[in-house]
Amino acid sequence: MALYEGRHQVRETFGPVVYARILGVLDRVVPGVALYGALSLLTLFGALMTLPGLRGRASWWAAALVVVLAASPTLVLFQGIVWKDVLFANFVVAGFVCVAHAVLGWSRVRRRWLQLLVSAVLFALAMSIRQNGLVMVVGAAASLGLAIQPARGVRTAWAWGLGWLAMVILLAGLAGHLAHPRAAGADKAFATGLRILQHYDVVAVAARDPATDLAVIAAAMPQAAALIKAQAASVYSPERIDFFDRSQELGPALWKTPASVMRAQWLEVVQHQTGAYLAHRWDAFVWVFFTPEPERCLPIFVGVTGPAEKLAGLDLAARLSPKDLALGRYAPAYLGTPAYSHAFFAILALVVAALLLVRREPPDVVVAGLLLSSLAFAASFFAISIACDCRYLYALDLAAVVGALYLALDPPRFGAPGGAKT
């Protein structure tokens, strides 16, 4: 759908317009997503190839880890899927690596400015692709300030951090403006996404507590309020919002409710049905973070698929080739292992971040910032999760992998005099 929007310069979904434009621009050079896939991979693996330059060495621990990672779905499967979540994760990782190089070689002024500019562009695109990615942008700005603070002083360090943050936000605004098709009218993606979240939360609370007061909706749309109360329990699931489709009447009733009314009802629920709201939010977060049944959270995608009319409009055909089938048989072997466990990657991120912050060299601070920011990014889904899809927290998984690889390149030697390398 994003490729279709990018090629034809239309807006038919509430997906990120910048992502559609990236696909569309590259599609003009090489029709399809081959060039996109190549550049997405280059963004990640190009950043990984520069990691040894941050440490000046590469241990055999890193070589062994690379062998393990080379066979994992984190790099083998997900990196081949045309998903905004994958591109977001790649941009974020590459952005943090650029910042790490900048703080390491701070005295090389021209190179530092170039690295910070590239990182700002990467983060601006990432934030435009995933709006809660702002959490990681703030984390990168804080990492920049903390990394240079010991040598530059508090005021100078935070001036750089805040100045860089302002540049990212300005670039993100510019990217959104330039990417939006002029004939499409005002972009309603954020408002639509927020409205869907409000639908989910209101119905969820009504499902959990039949006595939920829906007086705000009832005053404007009494039939809609009655329908929510009658059907909420049968359509709600903390696994995903998609089960609303079980009812042919509920969806239209929700969307016919004025936006101001739905927003007011949602606020009323959050403020006065707080217990039920938090219980629902926790259950939804358990599904997206712990994925108790990972096979239900869309962990594997292969082939080419989409609505028939969109495929025709892109001159594409649905495909499930022998290679796709082989990959589809390979990936399930990892289900139930740490390779598909966001909780495992979260623990790994915490451990690696702690070790790096003990050593606390400037690049260590930035890589620790990547790991802690990815944890904060994952935590943000407590408030916004509407489905347990594994892709949503791919940035956490990838950040943990990159952090572990960085640490393995030059493991801390805390016993060496002055922290010197041996």
pTM listed for this prediction:
0.95
Q: Is the pLDDT of residue 419 over 50?
A: no
In tens, the pLDDT along 186-211 reads 888 899 999 999 999 999 999 999 89
Q: Is the pLDDT of residue 420 over 50?
A: no
What would the mean pLDDT of 263-271 be, rounded to a whole number?
97
In tens, the pLDDT along 77-112 reads 999 999 999 999 999 999 999 999 999 999 999 999
pLDDT-derived band at 385, boundaries 50, 70, 90? very high
What would the mean pLDDT of 373-395 be, rounded to a whole number?
98
Supply the pLDDT for residue 183.
Answer: 85
Supply the pLDDT for residue 333.
Answer: 92
Supply the pLDDT for residue 222.
Answer: 96
Supply the pLDDT for residue 185.
Answer: 83
Supply the pLDDT for residue 416.
Answer: 54
Q: Identify the three-state secondary structure at position 337.
A: coil
Tokens of 166: 């302002």
What would the mean pLDDT of 171-182 be, rounded to a whole number?
95
Are 5 and 20 in contact by the 8 Å Cβ rule? The answer is yes
Q: Nearest Cα to 17, choosing from 259, 198, 197, 184? A: 184
Are 384 and 195 in contact by the 8 Å Cβ rule? The answer is no
Distance from C-alpha of 157 to C-alpha of 134, rounded to nearest angstrom: 20
151 DSSP assignment: H
82 DSSP assignment: -
Distance from C-alpha of 149 to C-alpha of 156, rounded to nearest angstrom: 7
Gyration radius of the chain over CA positions: 23
**Where exactly are the structural domains of the chain?**
2-183+336-414, 189-291, 300-334
CA 367, distance to chain mean position in Å, is 17
Supply the pLDDT for residue 414.
Answer: 63
Of the candidate ranges 239-243, 301-305, 341-345, the one whose mean pLDDT is the lowest: 301-305
* Helix ranges restricted to H, 105-210: 109-129, 134-152, 154-179, 189-208
Q: Is the pLDDT of residue 319 over 80?
A: yes
Which residue would you say has higher pLDDT here, 399 or 57? 399
Q: Is the pLDDT of residue 366 over 60?
A: yes
Residue positions counted in the chain: 422
Supply the pLDDT for residue 422.
Answer: 33
Phi-psi bin for 303: left (phi > 0), alpha (psi -120 to 50), beta? left
Q: Is the pLDDT of residue 223 over 70?
A: yes
